[in-house]
Structure 1
């Protein structure tokens, strides 16, 4: 893939020069903020889950652990989608404050 002169000059711009956001950049930023909120919720739920003592009556082994991880991931995604925690919105506002995105 060849780069034309304009593309090469664009890549050598100083790091502190803001770059105008493209149409999809704002949507990508929103999605990244939402994904961060989901990951944070999942970590919180996993930490809470570790505090629960298992009775030992029914142990599903590694399969149970895998499916439980998947379940808590879905819980985190559902909480992020439905609960209005505001973390993703706050991150989005902070990161898009100047209406420019970093290079």
Structure 2
């Protein structure tokens, strides 16, 4: 997950009141998407990792190293799905606060 490096870095005083919520040049959606992915990966990735560390391996039907590898891939897919499903409740309000502080 990388954050786009081509985002404008203008001084906050150059923004008008109408552009305080979204960056100029239509890059608001790219920034919002990068922010949402970062929040989701950080929050839900850590949550899922902590949850998995509290559960021991089952006595039967454990797939060994192969299961551990595919479990990481499954966790990545789960984090992406949870991020998409909860973006409007968690990441979007955080993005609005981030934008107000950045442009204010």
1:83 matched to 2:77? The reply is no
* Unaligned runs of at least 5 residues, structure 1: 1-14
Q: How many residues align?
A: 87
Superposition deviation, residue 63 in structure 1: 1.9
Summarize the alignment of residues 18-97 of structure 1 with structure 2, pairs less than 5 Å apart: 18=12, 20=15, 21-39=23-41, 40-83=43-86, 86-97=89-100
- Out of 26-35 and 56-65, give the one that drifted further: 56-65
* CA gap 1:89/1:71 in 2 versus in 1, 3 angstroms: same
Give the structure-2-normalised TM-score: 0.65
**8 Å contact 1:42–1:76 — kept in the other structure?**
yes
Q: Report which of the two structures shows the higher radius of gyration computed on alpha carbons.
A: 1
Instruction: Label 1:31 to 1:84 Cα distance change in 2 as closer, same or farther (>3 A).
Output: closer
Residue 16 of structure 1 and its aligned partner are, at CA, apart by: 8.9
Alpha carbons of structure 1 residues 85 and 62: separation in structure 2 relative to 1, 3 Å:
farther
- 1:30 and 1:47 map into 2 onto residues whose CA distance is 27
**Per-residue Cα deviation, 1:20-59 (whole angstroms, up to 9, x for no partner):** 5332431122112211232110210111011112123233
